[in-house]
Amino acid sequence: MSVKSAFSVTKALRDSAGFLPRAWSGAWLALGLLFAVVGGAWLTMHHLPSSPLACVALIAVILVLKYVAHGSLYRIALFGPSAKDEGLGFGGVQIGRPERRLFLASLAIAVFFVMIAVTVFIVFAIALSLSGLAQGYGSSLAAVQAIVHRHAGADVVFILYLIAASLFLIFVAVKFSLASAANIGQRRLVTLNALGLTSGNVGKLTIGIAIIVAPFVLVTMLATFGPFYGRRIVHFVLIGLNVLVLLPLIVGFFASAYRQIVTNRFR
């Protein structure tokens, strides 16, 4: 029995596009609530209470709705007609064990990622301090900005380190990209062991996500820097595109990639 873990990016992209109607029909309420809260908060930003407690409460509500939406979308994408047997609620609204697993997995992965990022930053800060390039600047950020602007001599080494560190952190993030699909698909908590799912597939996953995200980035840039700059309703529409279209597309892509990898792993 040979081990195969590759997946087809083309098939995953097709599945992602084909998933949209099912996502809207099965998780319409979950997506609608998430859009209403995020978009509504944006439109009424100047009228919202400015207290820290209110901000924390709003973030908490958004996070809960995010996990609810992810839970429903992954159930629909991975289990299809059997999604209701896996706990899919009315309109995709439910809070069950899968949502709790998604939260715990996200928390564990976030802690792991922050530890790596902090380590990378500490190494850079120590090297910058020992080099003497940070002397004469009010902060490390000011020193880094000067290095990037000057980019001469030893500056190049630090610039290359920043580029390599950024690429490495992106690599780590992509390595964990199938964790949510695994938590729903395997019906158990999956954290660091999700790294094995993406072995040999980081490049394909990156390409697929880049293809999906690129049009939305372009539209956002045009809306942000174009003639519609500063219009709150435009950003409200962009939030709608991200919640109602981009989110299901990404979930559909990751679900298809996960399903292909698991199916092909031992064939």
What does the pLDDT read at residue 134? 67
Checking if the pLDDT of 50 tops 90, the result is no
- The percent of residues above 70 in pLDDT, for the chain, comes to 92
What does the pLDDT read at residue 112? 96
Domain count, the chain: 1
3-state secondary structure the chain: CCECCCCCHHHHHHHHHHHHHHHHHHCHHHHHHHHHHHHHHHHCHHHCCCCHHHHHHHHHHHHHHHHHHHHHHHHHHHHHHHHHHHCCCHHHCCCCHHHHHHHHHHHHHHHHHHHHHHHHHHHHHHHHHHHCCCCCCCCHHHHHHHHHHHCCCCHHHHHHHHHHHHHHHHHHHHHCCCHHHHHHHCCCCCCHHHHHHHCCCHHHHHHHHHHHHHHHHHHHHHHHHCCCCCCHHHHHHHHHHHHHHHHHHHHHHHHHHHHHHHHHHEC
Q: Is 87 inside any structural domain?
A: yes
Q: Is 196 inside any structural domain?
A: yes
Where in the sequence is the domain holding 178, given as residue range(s)?
9-265
pLDDT band for 109, please (50, 70, 90 cuts): very high
Q: Is 3 inside any structural domain?
A: no
Q: Is 17 inside any structural domain?
A: yes
What does the pLDDT read at residue 148? 79
Query: What average pLDDT does range 94-117 have in this prediction?
Result: 97
Query: What average pLDDT does range 100-116 have in this prediction?
Result: 97
Read off the pLDDT of residues 146-173 as tens digits, 9 standing for 90 and up.
887 777 777 788 889 899 999 999 999 9
Checking if the pLDDT of 132 tops 90, the result is no
pLDDT band for 230, please (50, 70, 90 cuts): low
Q: Is 92 inside any structural domain?
A: yes
What does the pLDDT read at residue 36? 96
Read off the pLDDT of residues 171-213 as tens digits, 9 standing for 90 and up.
999 999 999 999 999 999 999 999 999 999 999 999 999 999 9
What does the pLDDT read at residue 55? 87
pTM score over 0.85: yes
End-to-end CA distance of the chain: 6
Checking if the pLDDT of 1 tops 80, the result is no
* Arithmetic mean of pLDDT over the chain: 90
- CA 231 to chain centroid: 26
Q: Is 171 inside any structural domain?
A: yes
Q: Is 1 inside any structural domain?
A: no
What does the pLDDT read at residue 229? 61
Least confident of 82-96, 105-119, 216-230, 243-257: 216-230
Q: Is 252 inside any structural domain?
A: yes
